[in-house]
Amino acid sequence: MQTLHVKTKRRTQLLDITNEVARVVHSSGVKTGICFLYVPHTTGGILINEHADPDVASDAEGTFDRLVPVNPNYKHSEGNTDSHVKTILTGVSQFIFIENGKLLCRIRWPSGPPSLSIFNSAIPKHLDSPIVLKFL
């Protein structure tokens, strides 16, 4: 098992981590298999999204904030209920196929290659969270 550490800068942020994961896959020597990614933090998730147009991530972040706003009326005393709910919506794990030593999420689509994104919605306004990678 290997671990990446990722740091975000905003409370709600999609951060492209495709290149970092691809480097770990390359250095592992795995040619064919599955890369399982898991974020063990309760206010951070991982998803696959397109990053050819950065407005997609910006729109997604805004949508998350509109759907689940920061609200002092939540009962959770830490003030980050919105962060937990956003993580529930995104999920905390992904399986990515590896073929010829490369992530298959990098296949070119008409709008650009899909990318892995770490999703953060944490208090304080940044997340320094591990991403656990296991090769199967």
pLDDT digits (tens, 9 = 90+) for 84-106: 898 898 888 888 888 899 888 75
Structure tokens at 6: 């990722």
Q: Is pLDDT at 55 greater than 60 in this prediction?
A: yes
In angstroms, rounded to a whole number, what is the distance separating the alpha carbons of residues 74 and 104? 40
pTM of the predicted protein model: 0.80
22 or 118, which is more confident:
22
Q: Is the predicted pLDDT of residue 54 greater than 90, yes or no?
A: no
What does residue 14 show for φ and ψ, rounded to 5 degrees?
A: -100, 125
User: pLDDT-based confidence at 130, cuts 50/70/90?
Assistant: low
For residues 118 and 87, give the distance between their C-alpha atoms in angstroms, rounded to a whole number.
10
pLDDT, residue 123, reads 35
Percent of the chain topping pLDDT 70: 76
User: What's residue 124's pLDDT?
Assistant: 37
Q: What is the pLDDT of residue 129?
A: 59
Q: Is the peptide bond before 54 cis (omega within 30 degrees of 0)?
A: no
The structure tokens listed for 76 are 């959770």
pLDDT of residue 111: 55
Residue 126 has pLDDT above 50, yes or no: no
Q: 72 pLDDT exceeds 90?
A: no
Where residue 71 falls among pLDDT bands split at 50, 70, 90?
confident
Cα angle for residues 58, 42, 96 (degrees, 5° grid): 65
